[in-house]
Structure 1
Amino acid sequence: MHQEAEEAARAVARLLDRHGALIAELGAALRAAPPSLVVSCARGSSDHAATYGKYLIETMIGIPVASAAPSVSSVYAAPVRAEGGLCIAISQSGRSPDLLATVRAHKAGGARVIALVNDAEAPLAALADTLIPLEAGPERSVAATKSFITALAALAALVAAWADDAALRSALNDLPTDLARAWARDWSSLADLLVPARNLFVVGRGLGFGIAQEAALKLKETCGLHAEAFSAAEVRHGPMAIVDERFPVVAFAGSDAAGDDVRAVAAEFAGRGAPVSLIDARRDGAGDPPTSAAHPAIEPLLMIQSFYRMANGLALARGFDPDAPRHLAKVTRTL
C-alpha cells in the first residue's frame, strides 16, 4: 500500500500525458451535445470517486448526476430508459458482474458509456463508447490508492475540458508535482489521535465529501476502525448526538464555501470536547495535519494522498497488515 500510494503522482502524469488529447476531444464533444442526465456506476472506492465527479459536474456543468443502483439490473433485470443520457462507469478491475450488468443495461437503453478503468483489457473497457485508461499500473494491495487518485484526476480533466475551464486545466498541469509534495506531508498527529480509537466520524462536504467517504473506508479496511463518513450538513441531523470527548472527528475542509461549513461543524464538535483533527486548505501548509491550498477541485486529491501515507502507518501501529485486510479480495464479484 505504501509503495503503490507513493506512485500516484507518476500515475497521474502518465494519465494526463497519454490521454490528455482524448479527454480534451471528449470534453468538446460533450460541450457540443450535452447529455440530459449523467449516471455514475461504481462500487467501493470507485463510488467515492463518483461522488467527487458528481459535485464537479453539477457545480461546473450544471447537469444532474445520479448514482446507479446495480441491483436494478443485476438482481431485478429491469430495463433502463437512458436515451440521451451519459453513463460514467468507474472501476479498478472492470470485472464486477453487477457493474457490468448495469453498464450493459444503460447502453442498451440508449446511454453513451464512458469507462474509467485501470485494467484496459477488462470486460468493462470493451463495453465503453469511450475508454479512459487510468494508467495507475498494477495494484497488488487490496486497498486501492493510486487508482482512486487517477480516477479523481481523470474526472477533473474531463470536467475541465467539458467546461472549457482554463483555471482547472492549469491546476491539473501542476497536479503531479503537488501530489509528490502532498505525499511528503507529516500527518503523524492524526495517526497519534487514532491509534487508541475505536469509533470516529470523517466529515467533508461538496468536492471534499468523496474523500471523506474514501478515508472512512480505508480506516475500516486497513486499520480496523469503525469510521463513518458524513456531510458536514448531514452530521447535524442526529449523528452528532453520540460525539463526546472519547469520539474523534476527522474533518476535511477545502478552501471553498463548502469548506466553511466543515470548519464550522469541526469547531462545534471541538467546543463539546471532542478530539478534532481539522485538515484545512485555508491554512495552506501551516495547519496540523498540513495540506496545501490549490484549485478547490484539486485540494481533495492532495488531502487523500497525504491521508494514504498516514493510514498505512496507522494500520501498522494498530497491528494490522494494510496490504491484506481480513476477509477481503482485490476484485469483489458482487451480483
Structure 2
Amino acid sequence: MNPDAFAADLAEKPDRLAELAAALEADAPWAPVGLDAGTADLVFLGMGSSHYASSVAAARLRARGIRAVAELASSDLLPRTGPGTTVVAVSASGGSRETLDALDRIGDTGARVVGMTNTDGSALAERADVVVPMLAGPEHGGVACRSYQHTLALLLALEAGLTGRPMPVALVRAAAEASADLLEREASWLPSVTAAALGPDGTHLAAPARRFSSAQQSALMLREGPRLAAVGCETGDWAHVDVYLTKNTDYRLVLFGGSRWLDGVREWTDPRGTTIVSVGEDLPTATTTVRYRGDEDDDVRLLSETLVMELVAARRWQAQS
C-alpha cells in the first residue's frame, strides 16, 4: 500500500468515470447475464467495500420488487441457491478468499455465477459463468477506491436494465464532473474538513440508509490508509446507537446529507455544540460544509461523496509517511 499512489488513484476518478460512461453508452454490461425482473433471484456476495456497495444495490432492487439479497461472503448463513439463482460475486482483486470460499460452499446447486472484478484472469473470473469487468483501471495505491465507485455504477446499470430504464450514462458523467469539482477545489475545503473531522477520539460518519455505503466506505478509508479510528452509522439509527458518545467525548461527525431523520441528530448535537462536517447539504449548525457540483441529485451523491473523506485520508496518510 502506498499513500502517494492512493492519491494518484483518486485523481484519476474523473477520467476513469468518463471511460465507464462511454462503455455503458456503447454496450449494456449485464446483457450477457440475461436477467428478467419477473424471475430474477439475486444473491450478492463480497467483503468490505464490495459488500457495502452490494448491500445498497440489493436494497434498491428489493424496493422495486426484485428479489435480491447481499451477504458477507464470510457468513456461515448463506442463502439457499438453486437453478433459478444468480450469484453475483464481487471482488476488485478477484482473489478475495472469503468470496471464493463462499462459491465453494454454494457448490454445484445449478446457480449461475457472475463475477464482478477489476482484474482480468483472476481466480474469480475463472470461476464465473459470466464476468462483468469493473473497468476502474489498476489501483496502484492498494486501496479499493475507484473499484468501489465503479461497482456502484455498474450495479445501478443492473438496476436500470431490470427496471426498463436507460443505462445511467448521464449519471456516471455527472459523477465524473462532481469528482473533478471536488479535486479542483480541494485546497478550498480540505483543510477545514480535516481539522473538523479528525479528532482525538476518532471520526464518526453517518449517511441515509439508501446511501449507507458512503459512511461505511469513508470510515474504511480512514482506517485503511492513515490508520485512524473511524466508524460508519446510518443517520436514522444514529440516535439509537451513536448518540451516547456526544456527551463525554470530543465527538466529530461527518454527516452525508439527505436523510429525513436529521432532526434526530440535531436534537442532541445542537445543544451539545458537536463538531459536524456536512457533506452535500447546507446545515446551519455545521462547523464546515462541503458542496460540490451535482450534489442536489441523490444518485450523484451516492457515486461521488466518498471522495471527500478519501482525500482527507490520502493527505493525512501522505503527511504521516
What's the TM-score, normalizing by structure 1? Answer: 0.80
2:11 corresponds, among 2, 6, 14, to 6
Q: CA deviation at 1:95?
A: 0.8
Q: CA deviation at 1:107?
A: 5.8
The 1:112–1:269 alpha-carbon spacing in structure 2 relative to 1, beyond 3 Å, is farther
Indicate whether 1:246 and 2:245 are aligned: no
Indicate whether 1:227 and 2:216 are aligned: no
Q: CA deviation at 1:86?
A: 2.1
Q: CA deviation at 1:210?
A: 0.4
Write the letter of the residue equivalent to 1:201.
Answer: H
Indicate whether 1:49 and 2:44 are aligned: no
1:59 corresponds, among 50, 60, 63, to 63
Tell me if the contact between 1:87 and 1:106 (Cα under 8 Å) persists in the aligned partners: no
* Structure 2 SS opposite 1:30: coil
1:258-280 C-alpha deviation (Å, 9 max, x unpaired):
x222x334423421322111213
Once residues 282 and 113 of structure 1 are traced to their aligned partners in structure 2, the CA distance between those partners, rounded to angstroms, is 43
1:57-109 C-alpha deviation (Å, 9 max, x unpaired):
22345434231442539xxxx99533422212111111122211212443622
Which deviates further from its counterpart, 133-142 or 190-199? 190-199
Q: How does 1:125-164 map to 2 (within 5 A)?
A: 125-164=125-164
Q: How does 1:162-201 map to 2 (within 5 A)?
A: 162-166=162-166, 168-185=168-185, 186-201=189-204
Aligned to 2:3: none
Aligned to 1:324: none
1:237 corresponds, among 235, 240, 256, to 240
Tell me if the contact between 2:21 and 2:170 (Cα under 8 Å) persists in the aligned partners: no
The 1:249–1:66 alpha-carbon spacing in structure 2 relative to 1, beyond 3 Å, is same
The 1:162–1:96 alpha-carbon spacing in structure 2 relative to 1, beyond 3 Å, is same
Unaligned runs of 5+ in 2: 1-5
How many pairs does the alignment contain?
305
Runs of 4 or more consecutive aligned structure 1 residues displaced over 4 Å after TM superposition:
166-169
The 1:146–1:79 alpha-carbon spacing in structure 2 relative to 1, beyond 3 Å, is closer
Write the letter of the residue equivalent to 2:275.
Answer: P
Indicate whether 1:18 and 2:20 are aligned: no
Indicate whether 1:212 and 2:218 are aligned: no
Q: CA deviation at 1:18?
A: 3.4
The 1:124–1:294 alpha-carbon spacing in structure 2 relative to 1, beyond 3 Å, is farther
Which deviates further from its counterpart, 122-131 or 289-298? 289-298
Q: CA deviation at 1:118?
A: 0.4
Once residues 121 and 145 of structure 1 are traced to their aligned partners in structure 2, the CA distance between those partners, rounded to angstroms, is 21
* Structure 2 SS opposite 1:115: strand
Which deviates further from its counterpart, 191-200 or 109-118? 191-200
Tell me if the contact between 2:199 and 2:252 (Cα under 8 Å) persists in the aligned partners: no
Unaligned runs of 5+ in 1: 322-335
Write the letter of the residue equivalent to 1:144.
Answer: A
The 1:270–1:136 alpha-carbon spacing in structure 2 relative to 1, beyond 3 Å, is same
Indicate whether 1:307 and 2:284 are aligned: no
Once residues 44 and 37 of structure 2 are traced to their aligned partners in structure 1, the CA distance between those partners, rounded to angstroms, is 21
Once residues 313 and 92 of structure 2 are traced to their aligned partners in structure 1, the CA distance between those partners, rounded to angstroms, is 20
Aligned to 1:329: none
Which deviates further from its counterpart, 92-101 or 209-218? 92-101
1:251-302 C-alpha deviation (Å, 9 max, x unpaired):
1123xxxx222x334423421322111213478xxx7122332542231221
Once residues 279 and 304 of structure 1 are traced to their aligned partners in structure 2, the CA distance between those partners, rounded to angstroms, is 10
What's the TM-score, normalizing by structure 2? Answer: 0.84
The 1:174–1:310 alpha-carbon spacing in structure 2 relative to 1, beyond 3 Å, is same
* Structure 2 SS opposite 1:116: strand
